[in-house]
Structure 1
Amino acid sequence: MLEQQRRKDRTEVTFVLPADTPPGPVSVVGDFNEWKPGTHELTLRPDGTRAVTVTLPAKASHSFRYLAAGDYWFNDDSAEGHDGNSRLTT
């Protein structure tokens, strides 16, 4: 799930997953962090989900995927589109 909070010249995007699906550590990787795993690792929240918030430029389009333990890559079903990767527009 994606949560977006629009600001004047930027958008704070929170990437949210269930606490244990998939198991183990998960990072969101995309063009906004040069596809570098571990830069934005999801952490546990009090509501039982895990999430990470990334500040992105407003009015831009981004590609991203999740990377879980065991080199398991997957897309976000709630993303605006897919082209092999998940897509979102801020």
Structure 2
Amino acid sequence: MDFLLKILDPAIFGAAVALITSVITYLATKNSNKNTDRMQLSKDQYQLISELRLMMQEQRDEIDSLKEEIKQLQAVNISLMVENKELQAKITELNSRLSKFDN
């Protein structure tokens, strides 16, 4: 019975309630901080993913541009090769005519 009287003593009862409340508040704050950290990490991850997607799209655009430039340069190269063969044929013909003229 003395034990119950001591527990029901307002000072001890108040201290016990304050201690329990403090522990509950500490645990709730700790869990809340974890959730906040997770949310921030998630936001950072989404931002990083977004930036990486933007970089990849820029790289794809540049690759497409370079592929188009390669096609144009290949067309010019083919044209120049044809012109070179034609000029070589003319040179051969002119050399042939020159050698006939010298004889």
Q: TM-score scaled by structure 1?
A: 0.14
Higher Rg of the two aligned structures = 2
Q: TM-score scaled by structure 2?
A: 0.13
Higher helix share: 2
Higher strand share: 1
